[in-house]
Amino acid sequence: MKKIILFFKKHHSDIFKGFLFLLTIVLLVLIFPREGKFKYEFQKGKPWKHKDLIAPFDFAIIKPGKEIELERLLVLEELKPFFKIDDRLIEEKTEELSDEFEREWKRKYSEKDKRKNLKNNSKDACLEIFNKLIITGIIELTHEIENKPDHFTIIILKDNIAEEKNLSQVFSIHTANEFILEQLRDYKNVDRTLLLSILGKYLIPNIFYDAETTEKEKQILLNNISLTHGMVQTGERIISKGELVTGNKYQVLESIKMEYEKQLGPPSTYYSILIGQIILISISVIVLLFFLLYFRKDIYADNEKLILILLVIILMVFITSLVIKFNVGYLYLVPICLVPIVIRAFFDTRLALYVHIITIIIIGFLVPNSFEFVFLQLIAGIIVIISVVHLQKRSQFFVTSFMIFLTYITVYIGLTLIQEGSLMGVELKYLALFAGSAVLTLFSYPLIFIFEKIFGMITDVTLMELSNSNTKLLRELSMKAPGTFQHSLQVANLAEEALYEIGGNTLLARTGALYHDIGKMDMPEYFVENQSTGVNPHDDLPFDESAKIIISHVRKGVKKAKKHNLPEQIIVFIKTHHGTRKVMYFYNMLLKEKPDEQIDEAIYTYPGPIPFSKESAVLMMADSVEAASRSIKQPNEQNLSELVDNIINKQVENEQFVNSNITLREITKIKNILKKKLMNMYHVRIEYPE
């Protein structure tokens, strides 16, 4: 039992990492549907590379989606809308028209006016013309017949009897008016003006659109569309090895693939499929584990970074799985390229590419036409990584989104030309999906921000924003402690140049250098670079008090940085830029003044910790060298060279860099860079031998 406990204590970190990868495998397996996969891969326009395929069972040949859609369109074009005649209007409106005629006649002619023949003839003509109109029918104008030609056919229901008629065989309001005028010309001894006025009021439709019956007929016709093109019998040869996968053969292969995968469903082969998925997903995740273990040990050692990488993979596979379950037609709307963008934002391009490849390989087991999918996403991912090699501006996200769209379109057109032999096969819906996917990749910016807050990590974009000298904190530093601000700028330049030469995160070092002395803002006059009046307040203080004030700028800087929500990666530079060294000036002054007195060295020593990264070690060197160089009365080549050597050698002797991943060769190179930069700053000419 003790051995087991000791083993867990000794290897708890590796055990936890193993648990993370095991949990990832379990989650991915749970995400995967329990469906079998057709074991042959094929592409339209390419030769069949497998053995002769013989049908193992009877199956129907499914029609292509385009063909079915075309048949639907033809059915809808040939659909004849249904209309109903309202018979009640004939009797009701005839009686109303008769009464209306009497009223209008009395209004126009007096009681004494004896024009019986004119009245009778006019009334008979009015009722006769109206009867012709109403029996033929006046159709209601709807969008189903709007702008249709006269020969367009409709179906009119009368007493449950359907009759086909052309639009020219019924009246519209316009043609009914023309009919009235034409009819009135044939009648003699009638009041045409009165009749035209009365009949105009009664031109109302009595043929109405029957939406319910039309919809029923539409559904019947659509349901009658066959989704198949005949059958393939068991034992029938489907395709031979080396035979070209033409359009017809491709559809037969798609049909057997669908039927094959349907027959592989649970429960008969459930466990076999599950074991296969576990094996494939485990291999993919373990390959990622080996890559990190052998090539990126720094990331493997950091659990938070591991969780971030694995979480990105799981999220993308989960989103893709949901889309496929909802509608596989929206597969290319999924922003797969979010993976390389997010990983590149936190790490490097090599890791971004590797994680992207692992992700699309895993998703490839989910999607149809996996080769096309993996190829398309691989090329797009490579283009994305190239476009975000130096991710330092938010505008780059828009450029990257546009590059993704262009890449998708280009690869899609290439695949279409290979498979179809022409551009006629290009579907606009795919172009819309590619555009949507490219736009969705813009969510990488808020996603990166969320991950920064959750995992306490930092990206180059954030560093660029923080290194802007117009940020609130740096602006305050330049106003309250202008000398310190100038010193910080010089240190930032020196550290950036040194790290550029030896390799390291130059942007992180520059940003850390700009903030490393913000603690001096509270008491700027106690630091020599801000003493422009010639008055030094330390002259009136004992050495230990002066040392406490100088040392306190580290603690105050950390407090101020946390108050302004600076990332921990920047706060590290504030904590470590003096390491555990002493405030040598006041310490030496005390030794000189009281050589025999026992000194409490803790009062004169910075609290640390010492630097534990290459960037923070370089900052310590640059900070010390730049500050000391200001005190040189004659900044010539020899003096500056000795200064750099003495300061850095002393730091090495004091073991300030033992926790940093920096070598003696790199320290020597840093010395040379700092000497060169200081000579440029002080305009020192190199003395060449005669």
Distance of CA 502 to the CA centre of its chain: 35
Of 79-93, 131-145, 154-168, the one with minimum mean pLDDT is 79-93
614-629 vs 664-681: helix axis angle to the nearest 10? 40
Binning pLDDT at 50, 70 and 90, where does residue 558 land? very high
- The whole-number pLDDT of residue 379 equals 93
DSSP designation for 452: H
CATH number of 460-681: 1.10.3210
Residue 521, pLDDT > 50, answer yes
Alpha carbons 86 and 298: distance in angstroms, whole number: 84
- The whole-number pLDDT of residue 515 equals 93
Binning pLDDT at 50, 70 and 90, where does residue 583 land? confident
Tokens of 171: 């009246």
Residue 113, pLDDT > 70, answer no
Strand order in the sheet with 207-209: 161-166, 153-158, 82-85, 207-209
Average pLDDT over residues 544-550: 86
Q: What is the dihedral of CA 639, 640, 641, 647, to 10 degrees?
A: 100
Output the CA–CA distances (angstroms, integers) from residue 20 to 24, 58, 309, 451, in the order listed. 6, 46, 11, 18
Tokens of 144: 């189903």
Residue 32, pLDDT > 50, answer yes
Structure confidence by residue, pLDDT tens digits, 627-677: 888 878 777 888 888 888 999 999 899 889 988 888 999 999 999 999 888
- 638 and 675 Cβ atoms separated by less than 8 Å: no
Output the CA–CA distances (angstroms, integers) from residue 216 to 221, 283, 527, 674, in the order listed. 9, 54, 89, 86
How high does pLDDT run on average in the chain?
83
Residue 220, pLDDT > 80, answer yes
- The whole-number pLDDT of residue 611 equals 92
Q: What's the residue count for the chain?
A: 690
Alpha carbons 465 and 470: distance in angstroms, whole number: 9
Alpha carbons 486 and 577: distance in angstroms, whole number: 17
- 512 and 570 Cβ atoms separated by less than 8 Å: yes
- The whole-number pLDDT of residue 689 equals 45
- The residue type at 448: I
Please name which of 203, 57, 98 lies closest in space to residue 141, comparing C-alpha atoms: 203
DSSP bridge pairs for 154: 165
- 504 and 614 Cβ atoms separated by less than 8 Å: yes
Q: Is 140 helix (H, G, I), strand (E, B) or coil?
A: coil
- The whole-number pLDDT of residue 233 equals 79
- The whole-number pLDDT of residue 249 equals 78
Tokens of 383: 């283009």
Please name which of 483, 508, 510 lies closest in space to residue 496, comparing C-alpha atoms: 510
Residue 685, pLDDT > 50, answer no
Binning pLDDT at 50, 70 and 90, where does residue 124 land? confident
Alpha carbons 259 and 60: distance in angstroms, whole number: 9
Binning pLDDT at 50, 70 and 90, where does residue 331 land? confident
Alpha carbons 655 and 581: distance in angstroms, whole number: 10
The dihedrals phi and psi of 210, each to the nearest 5 degrees, come to: -105, 90
- The whole-number pLDDT of residue 264 equals 60
- The whole-number pLDDT of residue 39 equals 63
Could you tell me what percent of the chain has a pLDDT over 90?
19
- The whole-number pLDDT of residue 495 equals 92
Average pLDDT over residues 101-106: 82
Residue 246, pLDDT > 80, answer no
Average pLDDT over residues 250-273: 69
Alpha carbons 113 and 204: distance in angstroms, whole number: 32
Q: Which residues contact 299 (CB under 8 A, 6 or more apart)?
A: 292, 305, 306, 309, 347, 351
Q: Which residues contact 298 (CB under 8 A, 6 or more apart)?
A: none
Computed from CA positions of residues 198, 199, 200, 204, in that sequence, does the dihedral angle turn out positive or negative?
positive
**Helices vs strands, H then E, count in the chain:** 27, 8
Residue 394, pLDDT > 70, answer no
Binning pLDDT at 50, 70 and 90, where does residue 686 land? very low
Alpha carbons 400 and 569: distance in angstroms, whole number: 27
Q: Which residue has the tokens 């920047």?
A: 570
Output the CA–CA distances (angstroms, integers) from residue 686 to 4, 622, 641, 643, 648, in the order listed. 66, 21, 11, 16, 22
Structure confidence by residue, pLDDT tens digits, 20-30: 999 999 999 88
DSSP designation for 45: T
Structure confidence by residue, pLDDT tens digits, 146-200: 888 888 888 888 877 888 888 888 888 888 888 888 888 888 888 888 888 888 8
Alpha carbons 442 and 61: distance in angstroms, whole number: 41
82-91, 246-255, 361-370, 494-503: which is most confident: 494-503
The count of other CB atoms within 10 Å of the CB of residue 453 is: 11
Per-domain boundaries in the chain: 2-36+270-451, 76-221, 460-681
- The whole-number pLDDT of residue 2 equals 66
- The whole-number pLDDT of residue 263 equals 65
Alpha carbons 318 and 445: distance in angstroms, whole number: 20
The vertex-321 CA angle with 318 and 323, nearest 5°, equals: 110
Alpha carbons 167 and 365: distance in angstroms, whole number: 57
Tokens of 417: 């030309």
Residue 688, pLDDT > 50, answer no
- 336 and 359 Cβ atoms separated by less than 8 Å: yes
